[in-house]
């Protein structure tokens, strides 16, 4: 946890009172004392510092902070992701890793090779996925919560939603090992927004690729190596970030 984040409605008259894992972190990891200054941020708001006004360093922990917000977080790459619903345990890691790397919106969609049981997972509830996003923000010292949009049916997403969505990006690209194009054919320095798509274990089926191309996306390949979804999502994010410069 490289920044202590709080919700807007936790800030009252310039103060925040913490009694949960954040208080424990301030006591046990930061070893903060009365009067110490720590880095804080308001979720979807500014970053700043806070002074420890009072502290109870035994269980149940309590920390009262006087907050001074001063700056927007560092800019984030303009990258969004379409992700075929992965195994739920993997989704948790992907959400926090991509939030740490910087991502605007993650569209979680269905695909032919997504196991139906994945859709029953609790992680698709906001109450369950939000902590993983906040974990990524706390890691990367950011406050901007990514948006998560869930589409349980492939065709309405790709036929109705995606064509209008895709025109908002400089480039919309889909990872597909059979493609003859490389990533640098599709993404240029100073592109303003990139939407990339990563398929399920086993890949997209041909029908899905065709639908994505019809909806305005470009296919690309990063080579013949077959990657797990989490490895591909993070590695391709790195490649795109490098190309954007």
Q: By CB under 8 A, name the binding residues for a copy of itself.
A: 2, 74, 97, 100-102, 139-142, 182-184, 222-228, 230-231, 234-239, 241-243, 245
Which residues fall within 8 angstroms of residue 2, CB to CB, at 6 or more apart?
39, 138, 139, 140, 141
Please, which residue, 44 or 125, has the CB nearer to a copy of itself? 44
Which residues fall within 8 angstroms of residue 131, CB to CB, at 6 or more apart?
none
**Cα 56 to Cα 23, 60, 157, distances in angstroms:** 9, 8, 50
CB of 19 to a copy of itself, least distance (A): 26
Please, which residue, 215 or 234, has the CB nearer to a copy of itself? 234
Please, which residue, 180 or 245, has the CB nearer to a copy of itself? 245
Cβ(33)–Cβ(8) below 8 Å: no
Cα 160 vs. chain centroid, distance in angstroms?
Answer: 24
Which residues fall within 8 angstroms of residue 13, CB to CB, at 6 or more apart?
none
Please, which residue, 162 or 175, has the CB nearer to a copy of itself? 175
CB of 216 to a copy of itself, least distance (A): 23
Which residues fall within 8 angstroms of residue 189, CB to CB, at 6 or more apart?
243, 244, 245
CB of 239 to a copy of itself, least distance (A): 4
CB of 60 to a copy of itself, least distance (A): 27
Which residues fall within 8 angstroms of residue 242, CB to CB, at 6 or more apart?
none
Give the strands of the sheet with 105-109, arranged side by side: 147-151, 105-109, 79-84, 194-198, 171-175, 218-220
Please, which residue, 97 or 110, has the CB nearer to a copy of itself? 97
CB of 243 to a copy of itself, least distance (A): 6
CA dist 40 and 194 (Å) reads 30
CB of 244 to a copy of itself, least distance (A): 11
Please, which residue, 58 or 116, has the CB nearer to a copy of itself? 116
């Amino acid at each position: 946890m490289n920044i202590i984040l709080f919700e807007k409605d936790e800030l009252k008259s310039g103060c925040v009172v913490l009694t949960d894992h954040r208080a424990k972190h301030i006591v046990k990891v930061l070893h903060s004392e009365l009067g110490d200054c720590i880095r804080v941020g308001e979720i979807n708001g500014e970053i700043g510092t806070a002074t420890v006004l009072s502290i109870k360093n035994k269980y149940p922990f309590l920390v009262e902070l006087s907050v001074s917000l001063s700056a927007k977080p560092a800019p984030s790459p303009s990258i969004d992701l379409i992700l075929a619903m992965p195994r739920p345990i993997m989704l948790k890691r992907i959400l926090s890793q991509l939030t740490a790397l910087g991502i605007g919106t993650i569209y979680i969609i269905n695909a032919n090779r997504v196991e139906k049981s994945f859709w029953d997972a609790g992680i698709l509830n906001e109450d369950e996925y939000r902590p993983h996003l906040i974990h990524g923000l706390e890691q990367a010292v950011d406050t901007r919560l990514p948006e998560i949009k869930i589409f349980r049916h492939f065709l309405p997403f790709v036929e109705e939603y995606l064509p209008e969505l895709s025109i908002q990006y400089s480039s919309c690209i889909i990872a597909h090992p059979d493609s003859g194009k490389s990533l640098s054919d599709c993404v240029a320095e100073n592109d303003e927004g990139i939407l990339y798509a990563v398929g399920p274990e086993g890949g997209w089926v041909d029908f899905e690729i065709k639908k994505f191309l019809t909806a305005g996306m470009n296919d690309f390949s990063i080579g013949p190596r077959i990657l797990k979804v989490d490895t591909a999502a993070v590695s391709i994010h790195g490649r795109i970030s490098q190309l954007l410069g």
